[in-house]
Amino acid sequence: GDSVTQMEGPVTLSEEAFLTINCTYTATGYPSLFWYVQYPGEGLQLLLKATKADDKGSNKGFEATYRKETTSFHLEKGSVQVSDSAVYFCALRRGAQKLVFGQGTRLTINP
Amino acid sequence: GAVVSQHPSRVICKSGTSVKIECRSLDFQATTMFWYRQFPKQSLMLMATSNEGSKATYEQGVEKDKFLINHASLTLSTLTVTSAHPEDSSFYICSARDEGPDNGGNTIYFGEGSWLTVV
């Protein structure tokens, strides 16, 4: 079945550091790919998405490129801030099917 | 933008009682809503897909008699945890699919989540 694998956390960085959170997926066909962010005590918010190969999703300085050849959708940000501290979930969806989430990566940014 | 609201955000109940969590789509109609459960420091586990006007579709291993789902209108789905036990304590999150023509295509929006503590 479909699955998503994220790099294990927690990840701790200093402010203004470069961030990469790896995400790879297994799915038949051509899924849409998503990154969601969960701030402490809150629900999930869509951070960015990409619906086809080579698409780049971007939002709030975060980027991720849909790489079909490597089945990856790595999340990157050039300069992180303390306010980026949260749990990040990679997810996929095929058509109108349910979202399949990775295990989440907890990110902590220190001032 | 579209908003999905959950209520209550936090609830404490006694063991053996039932508790209801509501999920509302505030500015769009949702024929399909999803209920997830999240254990501390873990990912979201899909419990069931709630379908307006019909029975919910439960994921394998989820007790449908314990987690009752009702989707009686296009803007409201409810999850009732019956005969709650401490092991049911968790963070429950709903999501709703906006299938309208102006939403960028089947966008899913999440509620804020509901913390359930069973004592």
Cross-chain Cβ contact A46/B43 below 8 Å? no
pLDDT in tens, B12-46: 999 999 999 999 999 888 989 999 998 877 778 89
Q: What mean pLDDT do residues A17-35 have?
A: 94
Selected residue with higher pLDDT from B44 and A34: A34
Cis peptide before A40 (omega within 30 of 0): no
Question: Which residue from B46, B49, B110 is facing A43, i.e. has the nearest CB?
Answer: B110
pLDDT in tens, B30-88: 989 999 998 877 778 899 999 888 899 999 999 999 999 999 899 999 999 999 999 99
**Is residue B78 helix, strand or coil?**
strand
Burial of B40 from C-beta contacts in 10 A (0-12 / 13-18 / 19+): exposed
Separation in Å, CA of A111 to nearest CA in chain B: 23
Strands A105-110 and A11-14: parallel
